[in-house]
Amino acid sequence: MDISIIIPTKNRSKYLFKLLNYYEAVNFMGQLIIIDSSDKNIFINNKNFIDSKKNLDIQHQFKDINELNARKYALKFINKNYIAQSGDDDYYEPIGVQKIINFFNINLDYSCASGYTYAT
């Protein structure tokens, strides 16, 4: 899938692990860029978990910055044509993401789009 998803996180391993388990379960084929500002021991724990996710394309970087600057910092690691940003507790459904990518491929004059949101 031709998309990079930027995910800032800080000291929220529980949410990050659930997110990565989800993307693994749905066989997500895009790039996940995780900018991690966690405390050192939590960062190491996150890194070990991320390293176990062999079927996901994950760029995991430590940078002690706020969420907004983490998104900016992540731009240098993008290797796909499309970008999305996500919280560490938000999920994208791959079929919906692919529909948005297809929309962009047909409608070249658009620069942003969104689909439906589900909240529980």
Predicted confidence band of residue 5 (pLDDT cuts 50, 70, 90): very high
pLDDT exceeds 90 at position 34: yes
Q: What is the mean pLDDT of the chain?
A: 95
Threshold 0.85, pTM exceeds: yes
Torsion of CA 27, 32, 37, 40, to 10 degrees: 50
Distance between CA 80 and CA 21 in Å, rounded? 22
Per-residue model confidence (pLDDT) at position 48: 98
Q: What pLDDT band is residue 119 in, cutting at 50, 70 and 90?
A: low
Mean pLDDT of 56-64: 98
